[in-house]
Amino acid sequence: MRRLGILDLGSNTARLVVYNIERGNWFRLVDQMRERVRLGEGLGSSGRLLPSAMDRTEAAVALFAEYARNSELDQLEALATSAARDAVNGEEFLRRIEPYGLDLRVLEGEDEARTGVRAVANSFDLRDAWVVDLGGGSAQVSRMKARRFAFGGAYPLGAVRLTEAYFHSDPPAIEEVEALEQKIDQVLEESLGLMRGDEASIVAMGGTVRNLARAVQKLERYPLADRIHGYFLRRDALEALTDRLLSTPLIERQALPGIRADRADIVIAGALVFRRLMRRSGRDGLWISGYGLREGELFRHFLEPPHLLADLRAFSVRNLLAHYVGSDRRTETVKRLASRLFSGLSTVHGLGDREAELLRAAAELQDIGWAVNYYRRDQHSAHLVASAPLNGFSHREQALLSCVVRFYRKGEPSLGSLAACCRQEDARLLSLLVGCLRVASHLDRTRSGRVRDVRVVCAEREIKVAIEAGSDPSLELRGLDQEAALLASSLGRRLEFSVAGGSA
């Protein structure tokens, strides 16, 4: 295990994140620090970093450097972005922080864009996308193709820069808003033209858009309140929020749920960038990334070139398990039996690989709640799965997984408050997945691995399940009909279990 620190000196905020990593196997965020530095303050008008902005940033660097010295980091990567890159006196700033020994690397616009794409490629189940990273000083707009950076660069559309250049009223006047929107269109003219002829999704990252998404989640009482990564921010919801922000003075914006008080002055400019982006590109929404520059840099250290996870969804489950409990033999047995049962029933339920993968993930995560406490472990499992960073799974799929592990042992399966994340037909899917997992778990109730396989034959009114075992499975058969009642009900057919000839 190694302890990796990543320092990101942005135009608005400076952050230090610390990860424990076992290269290629798992990583875990163990600490982070954030300081509002506004390094890019005044940069748009003067082209120079202000002494006060450099003072604030140097104080944050001193804090982070001392923390790093006391935290036994194996490695510290320090990155700076548009403010240090664009300022005519950027070298002066670099000399000021040189004594802290950070070996600061100033990223060029394309490098910053490439790093953002790497973060998206390893945290979204997408092969192609437009990636828009809106910071304080610039916005990186990139095209990801086949999970790799195709092209992209930095544009002078940062939330701090735009706010200082265009907004002089509180709240902004109509003519100020119109002037800013004209600027956005002018700067993004080429990219917007490409997006209109391209059906790839837009993935947005950066603190400002995360604040906008959280505000919408608060307004709509979104049930997965702990999950911002992978949230789909609808255009109509952003339109409504932007209209509200445009009519709300700063002191009231600072109190809006989901909006950080230290971003309330720049959040409108960010909202207008994304509103204009969706309007002009014809998108009905965009995906929110909780990952960004720091995570993109993490994957550069965590993975060998080309720095891409081979199977994102499988890794996300494995990575979560590494945080709490290890996968044991019984988990593998239950997963195998549940998968064989689900596959054998395919002519009845008509579902495919995606649902089969959900069942396998639920089998691996079924008892993760033991890491909290034996008692009510099913409830603990549900909470951990619902709030975990299960990248590659949609919020709907994560809600289903949470409910499967909640009810696989007992109780009538219900989506409850998570129904708002799901589809109408998901209540039946939940019962089917829980039913398969209950039967599979019961078939290994002695933890002996005695039951090796199941063979399923589906008829019009009944389903016959032959159990293959290495020795007498009478203990596994005891009470099996009761455990299988939910599965039978979800399929609308009677289940009949038997022991395959010669196996007992």
pTM value is 0.94
Assess whether 241 and 358 both reside in one domain: no
| Structural domain ending residue among the three candidates 65, 82, 106 | 106
Are residues 139 and 268 both part of a single domain? Answer: yes
Domains contained in the chain, number: 3
The 10 Å CB-count burial string (b at 16+, else e) for 102-111 is: bebebbebeb
In a domain, 372, yes or no: yes
In a domain, 471, yes or no: yes
321 and 389 assigned to the same domain: yes
User: What CATH number does residue 340 fall under?
Assistant: 1.10.3210.10
Residues 451 and 318 in one domain: yes
Token couple for 35? 């300081």
What is the spatial distance between Cα 465 and Cα 488, in angstroms, rounded to a whole number?
12
Question: Does residue 217 share a domain with residue 114?
Answer: yes
Q: 10-residue block means of pLDDT along the chain (504 residues)? A: 96 96 96 96 93 97 95 95 95 96 95 98 98 96 98 95 96 97 95 92 97 97 92 98 98 97 97 97 97 98 98 96 71 94 96 97 93 91 93 97 96 96 96 97 91 94 94 92 95 94 49
Residues 386 and 266 occupy one common structural domain? no
Asked, for residue 307, whether it belongs to a domain, the answer is no
**pLDDT of res. 503:** 42
Same domain? For 275 and 338 the reply is no
Quick one: pLDDT at residue 431?
97
Residues 396 and 438 both lie in one domain: yes
CA distance 240 to 477: 57
Indicate the pairing of strand 451-458 with strand 462-469.
antiparallel
Q: Which of 440, 493, 434, 498 is nearest to 466 (CA)?
A: 498
Q: Which domain holds residue 157?
A: 110-292
In Å, how far are 65, 102, 164 from 62, measured between CA atoms? 5, 10, 27
pLDDT of residue 504: 39
Regarding whether 493 and 449 lie in a shared domain, the answer is yes
Q: Output the pLDDT for position 34.
A: 96
Burial level of 226, CB count in 10 A (0-12/13-18/19+)? exposed
Q: Name the DSSP letter for residue 444.
A: T
Note whether residue 301 is domain-resident: no
Residue 299 domain flag: no
DSSP 3-state percent helix, strand, coil across the chain (nearest 5): 50, 20, 30
The reply to whether 129 and 35 lie within a common domain is no
pLDDT at 326: 53
Q: For the chain, how far is it from start to end, CA to CA, in angstroms?
A: 46
- The span from the CA of 280 to the CA of 478, in Å, is 63
What DSSP line would sit under 70-137, residue for residue? HTT-SEEEEEE-HHHHH-TTHHHHHHHHGGG----EEPPHHHHHHHHHHHHHTTSS-SSEEEEEE-SS
Q: At 85, which CATH number?
A: 3.30.420.40
